[in-house]
Every structure is written in structure tokens, then in C-alpha cells.
Structure 1
Amino acid sequence: MKQVEALILDWAGTVVDYGSIAPTTIFVEAFKSAYDFDITLEEARIPMGMGKWDHIESLGKLDSVNRRWCEQFGSAMTTEQIDHIYQTFMPLQKAKVAERSAPIEGVLPVIQRLQAKGVKIGSCSGYPREVMTELEIAAAEHGYRPDYCVASDELTAGSRPGPWMALENVNKLAINSVNHCVKVDDSVPGILEGLNAGMWTVGVALTGNAVGKSEEEWQALSASEQSNLTREAYAQLSSAGAHFVINSLADIEPVLFEINARLARGERP
């Protein structure tokens, strides 16, 4: 078989939650609620795509955050403090994900067409299992039901940017070759996950973390502002190593035609 067998899709910013708003705003809220400490939305987005505990740890190591944290608390963030922020984050995130569980415009028809052609739809996320369960239930009510889903805390080896969640999809979906899988993600750790798994990788630029605007915020921007953000998002995902970058998952079908042609010529990712 010389064609794509499976897509391994991220969730927030790729399939649901235009702009990847739900996780970002909750990080800001969790830091404030746990320790009355302020981080910006821009800072919160930097490690996006990682498992959420690792995300909090990475935020604490950012120069800007670490400097302010040390000024406020006298030392760098500890494991116990990360645990407390994470425990604060979890109920806030579970309450938020259902609100932004609707598929991004144009995405669901594409997924359904691919499934009808026999392409399997795997998925993985930086969300832990208890959050993913809430999101899967809510997304199913909108019609999105991937063939498999793995969460960031379900594998012993860890999560992104390692390949393990993507490869768990290969295992559970019984895919013949990672060369015939396409990892689609809106974050740098997610692109690296796909590359480390030996898959074709497709970056999603406009609907996800690379731009970080809700659909309403995006539409309110001037043409010049949209152009600048588009250029920056494409550059960010391309620099991470994405084989292709598209505006939205809704635009992926021509990319799959090209990948199928390259597979037929014997090419690999």
C-alpha cells in the first residue's frame, strides 16, 4: 500500500478550539489562583503542546517568569509548587474544554470524507486523561469521533516532543508503517513528536497556537496584521521541521494527495 493510512491529529487548535484558547487562558488563571502570580498569555503559549505538568515546569524556567518568580518568592519554582499549580489547573481546565469543543469550521467534513475512504483518524493531546475524557464526550456531541485517542499522562515513557503518543496510535490502529502516517499539529512540540516518530508532519498555522487568536479576534484584525501573523506562524512551524504548513486542517486534502504521490515514488518523510 503506497498511500496514507492514518492521520494522527492534535486536538486544541487543530480540530477543536480555534486559536487554542482553552489551555492558554487556564494557565494564566491557575498561576493567579494558586500563588497570586501573573503570567501573560504570550508566555503561557510558549511551551504549548507539551504535557500540562511539563508545560508548567517549562513556564517556570522561562527567563522572564523565573526572574519575576524569584523576586516574589525568593527562589526558583519547586516541584511542590508545580504540583500545586497543576492541581489548581486541572478542575479549571476540565470546566473549560467543553465550552470550546466544537470542531473548527470545515474540519469535520474533511475528517468524515477521509474516514469514508478508509483513512484512520488517531489523536493525541497535551491534555491529561481526565481532561481528555471531558473533551472527547463534548466533541462527540458535535460529531467528532476519532478512531483512537491517547492523553499525555497515559504512557510511561512520557509525552511530547517524544514520539510515544504518536506511536501508540500506530500500535492501537494497527498501522503497517509509520511512513504512511501524517502527524498534524499546531504547536512546535507536536511537530517534533511527529518527526521523532518518523511520520510526515503538517503544521496548522492560522487556527492554532502559532497565531493564538480566536476566530472573532482574527476576523477583527486588519489585512496587514493578518498577513504578518500568517508569515510568522508559517515560519515558526516550518523552522520546527514541518514537511508542510497549511492554514487549517480543513485544507489538508491537497497535501495528502502530494504525500500519496511521493509515497508511490518510494519517498519517505
Structure 2
Amino acid sequence: MWKYRGPVKLVILDTAGTICDGPQDLRHIWPDDDGLGVKAPVVPFYEVLKSRGVVLNWAAIRKPMGLFKKDHLRTLLETPEARAQFKNVHGRDWTEKDLDEMFEDYKKILNEVIVHPELVKPIPGAVEVIQKLRDYGKLIGNTTGYTAEASKLLNTKLEKEYGIKFDFAATPEIVKAGRPYPWMVMKHMEVLNVYPPAAVVKVGDTKYDIREGKFAGAWTVGLYATGNDTFEVLAAEEPDYLIPSIAELLPVIWDIENRLMEGRY
């Protein structure tokens, strides 16, 4: 059976919790902050839901992290806790119209929060590792659960202020569906002319990052110390590698390349 024995060609990175928006105590800005990474999506979820009489803590809001943000909001509204609170305040169940209106409000708040200097700041090692990958000829991609507008705002900041630039970035709006479906990864492969899937590495901090990569046939690397999901949650998805942060990524890439050359996969 033929096996690809060439190098890693493309490394696809998630954004929040992988490249930027890492763990830090920002209670002086957001009193409910839990100190974990990936705060930018949580803040607008909390505020939008609260404006409709639904109060969920940050831990509950984090559970669907990695999904496209409208899917994330829907998942939160479908929880028994949110359903009960909404009905108690409004005297009825929420509707698709409510979801659409909340998502519009969510996007407005997200566009402001996502470019907060503390949340744009790269996770230690991110700038250096990405540059090193480029030095070795690797293409750098980006998939996200953010909206296209928010992603563009964030990626523009990352490039302008920290020199982090992607060869291609995909958002759920440009494909059939976002995570956990593989389409954003496969869109990268099409646009950048990269194949086979064994030449691609997907890196992220949520279970949906791992599923996205696996469904596309790519190598998967979970990051358990800088983002949303814990070691245990990520380990349950059985990624090919599980490391604390992007700072430890380079040895993983070299190990993958050794395995590729030897056909050990």
C-alpha cells in the first residue's frame, strides 16, 4: 500500500487559545473572568444572554467552544438552564427569530472585544514558532469558529502588531459548515494546493479542533494549557499529539516528519 513519505507542507492553527488570547487574570476588566484562555468569545455570549434574562456562568458558556459562534449560541440556548430562564422572563420558548437577533448583537460586541490589546497579545512562543515554521518552508493556515468579520479584525491586528500572517484563513461562512466538519481544513488544501492529508497538521485547543482535523485525515495536535479545553477533554478525542502550548510545537512537527519519512503512521 502506497504511503506519503514527504514533509509536512501545511500547519493549520486555531486562533484564540492557540496563538493569542491565552490564560491570564483579567478580572479588573471582566469581573467574572475565570483566568483561562479564550475569553474573547465568552464575554459577548455572557452579555447577550444576560440582556435577555439568561445568566450562565463562564464554565457553562465554554462547553461548546470551537463551534461556529451561531451554532455555539444555539447550543447554549438549548440547555435546560437557559431554556427555563428564557421562558421564565419572556413567558415563552425562544425562537429562531430570537436566536438571529441575539447573534446580531453578539457579533457587534465580539468585534469590539476581539481586538482588545490583552486578548490580541500572542501566547508565549507563538511568534517564534510560527516564524520558525515559515523558515522551514511550511505554509501557515488558520481555521476558527469566529465570524468572517471578527476573524479579519483579529488577523489584521496579529499581522500589523506581531507579524503573524496566514497563507490562508478559513471561516465557517466560506464553506458548507464549520467545525467539527472538515471543510475548512479541506478548503485550505484546495486553495493552497496541498495534498495528501498526511502532509497537513491541525493544531488547536478544543475538542472540535481535533475532530475537524481527524475528519479531514490530517495530523492533530491538542493544546491543553493555554486555551479552552482541559487535558482530559482533549485526550478523550485521541489527538496524535497532546502538548501544553504552541511553544512546544516544533519538536512535534519534526517527529511527524520522521514518521512520514519512515512510513510509521
Question: In the alignment, which of 79, 82, 99 is matched to residue 82 of structure 1?
Answer: 99
The residue number in structure 2 matching 1:128 is 147
Taking structure 1 as the reference length, the TM-score comes to: 0.87
Does structure 1 residue 151 correspond to structure 2 residue 148?
no
- Aligned match for 2:15, one of 11, 14, 36: 11
2:123 to 100, 104, 110: 104
1:139 equivalent to 2:167? Answer: no
In the TM superposition, residue 132 of structure 1 has moved relative to its aligned partner by 1.1
Offset at residue 171 of structure 1 (A): 1.2
Deviation at 1:173, TM superposition (A): 1.5
Task: Show the counterpart of 1:213.
Answer: none
Q: For residues 144-164 of structure 1, what are the alpha-carbon distances to aligned partners after superposition, in whole Å with 9 as ceiling and x for unaligned?
A: 111110112121x11000000
Please name the residue that 1:179 is paired with. Answer: 198
Per the alignment, residue 38 of structure 2 pairs with 20
Deviation at 1:75, TM superposition (A): 4.0
- Structure 2: which amino acid aligns with 1:126? G
Query: Where does the alignment leave 5 or more consecutive residues of structure 1 unmatched?
Result: 211-232
Separation in 1 of the partners of 2:261 and 2:9? 13
Mapped partners of 1:241, 1:173: distance in 2: 27
In the alignment, is the contact (CA less than 8 A) between 2:53 and 2:89 conserved in 1?
A: no
Report what 1:260 is aligned to.
257
Per-residue CA distance 1:39-60 (angstroms, 9 max, x = gap) = 2111110110100111111111
Pair 1:66-2:66 in alignment = no
TM-score, scaled relative to structure 2: 0.88
Structure 2 counterpart of 1:237: 234
Q: Identify the residue that residue 161 of structure 1 maps to in structure 2.
A: 180
Structure 1 runs (4+) greater than 6 angstroms displaced? none
User: Aligned partner of 1:170: which letter?
Assistant: M
| CA gap 1:87/1:3 in 2 versus in 1, 3 angstroms | same
Aligned: 1:29 with 2:47: yes
Q: In 1, are the aligned partners of 2:222 and 2:241 still within 8 Å (CA)?
A: yes
Structure 2 gaps, min length 5: 23-36
Give me the CA root mean square deviation. Answer: 1.3
Q: Give the conservation status (yes or no) of the 8 Å contact 1:122–1:173.
A: no
What is the identity, as a one-letter code, of the residue corresponding to 1:12?
A
1:60 touches 1:76 (CA, 8 Å); kept in 2? no
Matched-pair contact (CA < 8 Å) for 2:53–2:86:
no
Once the two structures are TM-superposed, the CA of residue 66 in structure 1 deviates from its matched residue by: 2.5
Contact 2:145 2:171 in 1 (8 A): yes
**Cα distance change on mapping 1:74 and 1:5 into 2, 3 Å:** same
2:210 aligned residue: 191
SS at match of 2:242: strand
Secondary structure at the residue paired with 2:77? helix
Task: Say which structure is richer in helix.
Answer: 1
Identity %: 30
Superposed displacement of residue 266, structure 1: 1.6
1:15 and 1:138 mapped to 2: Cα distance?
Answer: 12
Deviation string 1:215-269 (CA, Å, 9 cap, x unpaired) is xxxxxxxxxxxxxxxxxx211101022111111111111111221121112234x
Equivalent pairs counted in the alignment come to 244
Structure 1 letter corresponding to 2:227: G
